[in-house]
Structure formats: structure tokens, C-alpha cells
Amino acid sequence: MKTSTVLLLLATVTVPLAAPAAHAQAAGLDDPTIVAIFDAANSWDIETSQLALKKSRNPEVRRFATMMVNDHRAVRQMGRDLAHKLHVTPTPPGKDFALAKDHASIMKTLRGAKGHAFDHAYIDHEVTYHQAVIDAVSTQLLPATKNAEVRALEEKVAPNFQAHLAAGKAVQQKLAK
């Protein structure tokens, strides 16, 4: 996944606000769009992880996938609750949005993979996905977030995404042995 893919999760990296904010605004990122991206990103990670629970027999992969489903459902619900509270109507980013294309591509790959090949493809995707999330948010979305409550949600969930990246890398290392 490209780091230019815009996702709404949170990076814990501090970034200068001037240039990234200008880039984010140029891309048309407003809070309703950010909320929609947040929902889509969490939904798509739930979908890939549910597929892992159906296809994988590896206990480490299944444990990781269960954590992804549970954590991303909780975070997605927090985003939906906040959108409702703020009376924000999420503005979906469109069908040609890079994240949607990336998700369709990985789902096709994962549906066609079996056994160890599936486990490796899934975990490799999750590591790449979470790193891309951290990178994209720190340079694009976080600087574009204007609403204090949306920013607070981002800050609240930030440690989870760093933890997901670390857990994914740990499973990736175990699979490599």
C-alpha cells in the first residue's frame, strides 16, 4: 500500500504542520471526508481480518486477526458515535480513491491464496497497511483535522495502531521461521 494512500487512524509521529496541511487541504480533506475515511479504513481492515479467521489455521495468525476485528470494530464505532454526536455526515472519498483500490486488490490476492501463502500474504499486508496508516496520517490527515474532538479520537487510538504494527511484525517474524 502506498503511503500516499489516505487513511484515518493516528500516527504518533510529530510532523511540521505547514507543508503537510497545505497538501492535505489541496487534496480536499475536510473533517466529514476524514470521518468517512476513518470508517472505511477500519471496515476494510475488519474485512481482511475476518477473511483470515475463515482461511487461516495458524494460531498466531488467527489470534492477530481476532485482535484486528475486535479493535477495529471498537474504533470504527467510536468514530461513528462521534460523527453522530457532531452531526457530521461523512463524505465518502469516491470510487477511484486509492484506499478502495488497494483494498479490492488485497482482497483478490487473499481470496486466491491458501495455507502458508495466505498467512504470509495476510500478515505482510497488515504490517504494510499499519505502517502506511501511520505515515499517511502523520503527513496528511492529522494536519488537516480541524475539529478538536476528531483530533482527540485520533490521539486516543494512536497507541493501538503502533501496537498493531508491532504485533503484526512479531507474527511476521514467527512465520518466517
Q: Following DSSP, what letter does each residue of 2-37 receive, concatenated? A: -TTS---S-------SHHHHHHHHHTT--HHHHHHH
pLDDT tens, position by position, 29-54 = 888 888 888 898 899 999 999 999 99
Q: What's the average model confidence in pLDDT over 20-24?
A: 37
Above 60 in pLDDT, residue 2?
Answer: no
Which residues have CB under 8 Å from 117's CB, separation 6+? Answer: none
Taken in order 171, 63, 3, 111, is the CA torsion positive or negative?
positive
DSSP state of 140: I
DSSP state of 138: I
Q: What is the pLDDT of residue 133?
A: 82
Whole-model pTM? 0.82
Domain 18-176 is of which CATH architecture? Up-down Bundle (1.20)
Residue position matching grid coordinates 480513491: 97
- How high is the mean pLDDT of the chain? 82
pLDDT tens, position by position, 70-104 = 999 999 999 999 999 999 888 776 667 787 888 99
Task: Choose among 49, 54, 48: nearest CA to 65.
Answer: 49
Q: Burial level of 170, CB count in 10 A (0-12/13-18/19+)?
A: middle
Question: Residue 143 to residues 18, 84, 140: CA-CA distances in angstroms?
Answer: 8, 23, 6
Q: What is the pLDDT of residue 95?
A: 67
Above 50 in pLDDT, residue 16?
Answer: no
Least confident of 76-85, 86-95, 115-124, 155-164: 86-95
Where along the chain do its domains lie?
Answer: 18-176
